[in-house]
């Protein structure tokens, strides 16, 4: 995290440029719910697609799944959520504010100093009523995690894919938790999106796979540009472990609120399949036809938050730079995450420039996610592209009409080079793949 970044600055940038808006803002907002705006939705899509590519598409040993948010209520009895998924709630007897007892330093109301009630368990699952008449309709819960959808489908997936262990089943989707104290922008919200994989392995190989996944997942953030000094792995103490976990490690990121969890990697052993076998009466064991063994698989779970990841990528990319005496705000997002890859900016809105600029835009938009912008001054448009993290801008000026050359401006170095329109695609592609402007032959002949 750079020293200058605060959560307020991130919230402000997100609102100003259309990354994230408060939900139902014109009605005063809805507590801890957020909407992704035009550039935010693209950033989030890029993050989720990067995860899917890494966890499903590029692997031979995993498949995807997309389960419904509403599940049979017994799922949450088997998983332990009905019984145990709760936080200790206390209320101030004076001002009636409510707090999580386990997050308080002192036994008095943080708001007014008043006396607090005894803690009582508050279940975090949202419930609703399915079916036409509320009184006798089924109570169903909104899933508090996507993981259980994977466990209850384990048998179906193995049967229909005929895959052998080790086998990963991955899912991206919304979950809901009625948090007592949500907050810190999109870090802790009541509605959020998860990216979870359950990786089923033979007992005995679980510790090795646990270490493998901790390493892989840590690397994923680094590969997408998170700075190493802002990322750390924190192994849980035995005393911290949930009752079902043999081991757990958190990938933590240095948010402006301090080191906080981005993703957990847990060795869940055979807890989940055993529980669902017991409650459903179904045999959820696995038969290994190569060794003629039957067993309940162990599970390694890398469980990441999509919203938290987006927030971490935003925070990590945020820079304030002094450029010729003024402050430039720039998001140095990894090119694969940037909502727009190439902006096409005619120097001004002008009937002579527009045809060439539009022609270039039309051509480039076949190969790149582009934006065409001809409003306001070129300086303000550069500032906008910097703030949404666009790696490259192509500027079309009056000289372009003469020499059929345009300028490429690099977001990070602010270097500009001029090159023939015919070589644009090749140059942009190389630059987005990480080549620097002075990397030899490609740029030979280009005029810096």
Q: Footprint of a copy of itself on residues 124-153 (CB under 8 A)? A: 126-133, 138, 140, 142, 149, 152-153
Pairing of strands 298-305, 293-295: unpaired
Residue 115 bridge partners (DSSP)? 108
Which one of 4, 161, 327, 404 is in contact with a copy of itself (CB under 8 A)? 161
Residue 292 engages a copy of itself in binding (rule: CB under 8 A): no
Total residues interacting with a copy of itself, rule: CB under 8 A: 82
Site string for a copy of itself, 35-74 (x = CB under 8 A): xxxx-xxx-xx------x----xx-x--xxxxxxxxxx-x
Shortest separation between residue 89's beta carbon and a copy of itself, angstroms: 6
Whole-angstrom distance, CA of residue 383 vs CA of residue 323: 12
Whole-angstrom distance, CA of residue 339 vs CA of residue 38: 9
**Run of H or E including 149:** helix 147-152
Residue 4 engages a copy of itself in binding (rule: CB under 8 A): no
Query: Pick from 346, 323, 446: which is nearest to 398 by CA?
Result: 346
CA atoms within 13 A on the CB side of 16: 13
Residue 31 engages a copy of itself in binding (rule: CB under 8 A): yes
CA-atom Rg of the chain in angstroms: 26
Residue 168 engages a copy of itself in binding (rule: CB under 8 A): no
Q: Footprint of a copy of itself on residues 335-374 (CB under 8 A)? A: 361, 365, 369, 372-373
Shortest separation between residue 306's beta carbon and a copy of itself, angstroms: 11
Q: Which stretch binds a copy of itself (CB under 8 A): 16-24, 213-221, 348-356, 406-414?
A: 16-24
Question: Dihedral through CA 357, CA 43, CA 225, CA 369, nearest 10?
Answer: -30
Beta strands in 142-282 (DSSP E): 167-176, 191-201, 231-235, 247-255, 258-269
Give the list of residues 6+ apart from residue 411 with CB closer than 8 angstroms, or none.
330, 332, 385, 386, 389, 390, 391, 392, 393
Shortest separation between residue 356's beta carbon and a copy of itself, angstroms: 16
Q: Footprint of a copy of itself on residues 377-436 (CB under 8 A)? A: none
Q: Which stretch binds a copy of itself (CB under 8 A): 123-131, 293-301, 316-324, 416-424?
A: 123-131
Q: Footprint of a copy of itself on residues 86-105 (CB under 8 A)? A: 89, 98
Residue 225 engages a copy of itself in binding (rule: CB under 8 A): no
Pairing of strands 392-396, 342-346: parallel
Cα 317 to the chain's mean position, in Å? 14
Nearer to a copy of itself, 78 or 317 (CB): 78
Nearer to a copy of itself, 250 or 373 (CB): 373
Which one of 2, 260, 280, 416 is in contact with a copy of itself (CB under 8 A)? 280
Residue 187 engages a copy of itself in binding (rule: CB under 8 A): no
Shortest separation between residue 134's beta carbon and a copy of itself, angstroms: 9
Alpha-carbon distances, residue 189 vs 21, 22, 359 (angstroms): 14, 12, 44
What order do you get walking across the sheet with 98-100 strand by strand? 98-100, 86-91, 120-123
Which one of 8, 25, 235, 403 is in contact with a copy of itself (CB under 8 A)? 25
Which one of 188, 276, 332, 409 is in contact with a copy of itself (CB under 8 A)? 276
Whole-angstrom distance, CA of residue 412 vs CA of residue 225: 13
């Amino acid at each position: 995290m750079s020293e200058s970044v605060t959560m307020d600055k991130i919230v402000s940038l997100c609102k100003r440029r259309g990354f994230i808006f408060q939900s139902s803002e014109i009605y005063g907002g809805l507590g801890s719910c957020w909407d992704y705006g035009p550039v935010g939705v693209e950033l989030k899509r890029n993050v989720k697609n990067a995860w899917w590519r890494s966890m499903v598409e590029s692997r031979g040993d995993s498949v995807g799944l997309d389960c419904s948010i509403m599940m049979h209520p017994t799922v949450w009895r088997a998983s332990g959520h009905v019984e145990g998924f709760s936080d200790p709630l206390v209320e101030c007897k004076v001002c009636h504010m409510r707090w999580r007892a386990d997050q308080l330093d002192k036994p008095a109301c943080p708001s007014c100093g008043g006396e607090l009630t005894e803690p009582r368990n508050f279940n975090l699952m949202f419930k609703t009523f399915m079916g036409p008449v509320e009184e006798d309709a089924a109570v169903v819960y909104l899933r508090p995690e996507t993981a259980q959808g994977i466990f209850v489908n384990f048998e179906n997936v193995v049967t229909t894919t005929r895959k052998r262990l080790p086998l990963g089943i991955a899912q991206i989707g919304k979950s809901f938790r009625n948090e007592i104290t949500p907050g810190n922008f999109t870090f802790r919200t009541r509605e959020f999106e998860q990216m979870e994989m359950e990786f089923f392995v033979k007992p005995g190989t679980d510790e090795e796979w646990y270490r493998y996944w901790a390493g892989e997942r840590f690397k994923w953030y680094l590969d997408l540009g998170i700075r190493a000094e802002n990322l750390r792995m924190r192994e849980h103490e035995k005393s911290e472990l949930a009752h079902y976990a043999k081991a757990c490690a958190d990938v933590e990121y240095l948010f402006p609120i301090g080191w906080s969890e981005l993703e957990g990697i847990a060795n869940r052993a055979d807890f989940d399949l055993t529980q669902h076998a017991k409650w459903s009466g179904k045999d959820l064991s696995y038969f290994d036809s190569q060794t003629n063994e039957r067993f309940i698989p162990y599970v390694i779970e890398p469980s990441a938050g999509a919203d938290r990841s987006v927030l971490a990528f935003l925070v990590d990319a945020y820079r304030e730079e002094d450029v010729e005496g003024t402050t430039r705000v720039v998001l140095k997002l990894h090119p694969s995450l940037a909502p727009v890859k190439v902006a096409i900016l005619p120097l001004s809105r002008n009937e002579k420039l527009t045809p060439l600029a539009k022609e270039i835009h039309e051509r480039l938009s076949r190969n790149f996610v582009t934006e065409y912008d001809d409003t306001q001054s070129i300086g303000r448009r550069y500032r906008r592209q910097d703030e949404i993290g666009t790696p490259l801008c192509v500027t079309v000026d009056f000289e372009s009409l003469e020499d059929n050359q345009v300028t490429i401006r690099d977001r990070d170095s602010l270097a500009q080079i001029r090159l023939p329109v015919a070589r644009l695609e090749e140059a942009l592609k190389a630059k987005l793949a990480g080549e620097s402007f002075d990397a030899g032959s490609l740029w030979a002949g280009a005029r810096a």
